[in-house]
Amino acid sequence: MSDSITLQVVRYRPDEEDAGPVVVDYEVPLRRDWAILDALNHIKDELDGTLSYRWSCRMGICGSCGMMINGEPKLTCATFLVDLAPGPVHVAPLANFPVIRDLIVDITDFMQKLGRVKPWLIRDEEKPVDDGEYLQTPAELSDFKQFSMCINCMLCYAACPVYGLDGEFVGPAAIALAHRYNLDSRDEGERERLTILAQPEGVWDCTFVGECSAACPKGVDPAGAIQQAKLAAAQDAVKSLLLPWRSR
Amino acid sequence: MTSHLEARYHRQRVPLLWWARRRSYAMFMLRELSSAFVALFVVELLFLIRAVGRGPAAYEGYLDALAHPAMIVVNVVAVAFVLLHAVTFANLTPRAMVVKVRGRRVPSRAVLAGVYFGWLVVTAVLAWLVVG
């Protein structure tokens, strides 16, 4: 095994003239225990301090370090150099998002969409705190648990060609989280969320490419969630057509 | 409104041939394309109904048109695409539908088996109607 590997890092420096993205090669040690993120930290510490990228936890929880590795959306802290040897390894910012600088993308659009689907418990009437917690059985928990594993890393948005082509699409993670709360036995906000999800740019924009679920590092199935939400939206539409007096 | 900082963002464009770069994307495009062949069969069926309505001569003419080698090739390709459409559609069902029996979630394999069993029953009934 060679003792070094080349990282081809896409760099974008908006403060320089003719600042289109350029690829810069960096030779880094090929260590068995190094993930791409360790190699990027090595570049920043030892080779070129101007390189910019986001990271935090180094253990696949914070969801900050998502990038395109050899064209695939990956968490750089969970993608190891040895698995990509002999290289070179192409490192680019997450696809489908505007690039602020080097490997940092603007996530404002995702943050706004996440808020729009109201990913929190909604109650018609809040119980007084003295009455204690909203209880739930293990079976009720298992209904939505996998969808609650999302770490908002946005790899699914980078994998989704629909989001790339139509920026209005609410997108996989936000819909999966909305669905997670809709499935929660303690929640009563399904109708509120449905007004957002049942829009054309909500669930109906999804054409079930399925790549969001393939890209998810936490085993969430956003594509499945979106189809289940489609079914729920369609059932709701039929119900309100047949039983108009029951819909509010 | 775009701020002056946003104006300096690099906007990544989706290339025109994005679907050719990955096998799963290409498969997805084939699945989307298959809808056109489903539509083709619907059109053929409408022509059949019209021909039947116009009498035996029109029906014979319809059969002759379908027997043309070019039409046979088109229909063989169409069958392949419609099968791709049906199989991929059926395979996605367990992810789109959560089936519960007495509060317990039915495993994906059982849902899938149910879909294929239903397909088989409908096919058998249609075959019995046509052949029998």
Residue-wise pLDDT tens digits, A180-190: 999 999 999 98
B81 min Cα distance to partner chain A (Å)? 17
CB atoms inside a 10 Å sphere around CB A108: 11
Specify if B49 maps to a domain.
yes
The CATH number given to whatever domain includes residue B53 is 1.20.1300.10
Are B8 and A210 an interchain contact pair (Cβ–Cβ within 8 Å)?
Answer: no
* Last residue within a domain, chosen from A105, A124, A145: A105
* Domains contained in chain A, number: 2
Predicted pLDDT at A200? 85
Predicted pLDDT at A198? 86
Residue-wise pLDDT tens digits, B5-56: 788 888 888 888 888 888 889 999 999 999 999 999 999 999 999 999 998 9
Specify if B60 maps to a domain.
yes
Predicted pLDDT at A247? 56
* Domains contained in chain B, number: 1
Are A95 and B12 an interchain contact pair (Cβ–Cβ within 8 Å)?
Answer: yes
Specify if B43 maps to a domain.
yes
Range of the domain at A179: 108-246
Say yes or no: A64 and A160 in one domain.
no
Say yes or no: A175 and A200 in one domain.
yes
How is residue B108 written in tokens? 């994906």
Contact residues, A window 51-90, toward B, CB-based 8 Å cutoff: 71
Q: Give B89's contacts (C-beta < 8 A, 6+ positions apart).
A: none
Range of the domain at B58: 6-96
Name residues of chain A where pLDDT drops below 70. 1, 17-19, 246-248
* Last residue within a domain, chosen from A44, A74, A105: A105
Say yes or no: A73 and A118 in one domain.
no
d(CA A47, CA A24): 12
Say yes or no: A99 and A120 in one domain.
no
Residue-wise pLDDT tens digits, A1-26: 679 999 999 999 988 766 689 999 99
Say yes or no: A90 and A197 in one domain.
no
- Indicate the average pLDDT of chain B: 89
Predicted pLDDT at B1? 58
Say yes or no: A140 and A197 in one domain.
yes
Q: Give A204's contacts (C-beta < 8 A, 6+ positions apart).
A: A198, A230, A233
Flag whether residue B12 sits within 8 Å of chain A, measured between CB atoms: yes
* Last residue within a domain, chosen from A105, A137, A170: A105
Region B78-96: mean pLDDT is 90
Amino acid at B77: V
Predicted pLDDT at A82? 94
B7 min Cα distance to partner chain A (Å)? 10
Say yes or no: A232 and A130 in one domain.
yes
C-alpha distance from residue B47 to each of A179, B56, B73, B80 (Å): 44, 14, 18, 21
Determine the 3-state secondary structure of A111 from DSSP: helix
Are B25 and A209 an interchain contact pair (Cβ–Cβ within 8 Å)?
Answer: yes
Q: HSE, CB side, 13 Å, CA atoms: give it for residue A131.
A: 6
Percent residues over pLDDT 90 in chain B: 58
The CATH number given to whatever domain includes residue A34 is 3.10.20.30
The CATH number given to whatever domain includes residue A199 is 1.10.1060.10
Predicted pLDDT at A1? 65
Specify if B65 maps to a domain.
yes
Flag whether residue A132 sits within 8 Å of chain B, measured between CB atoms: no
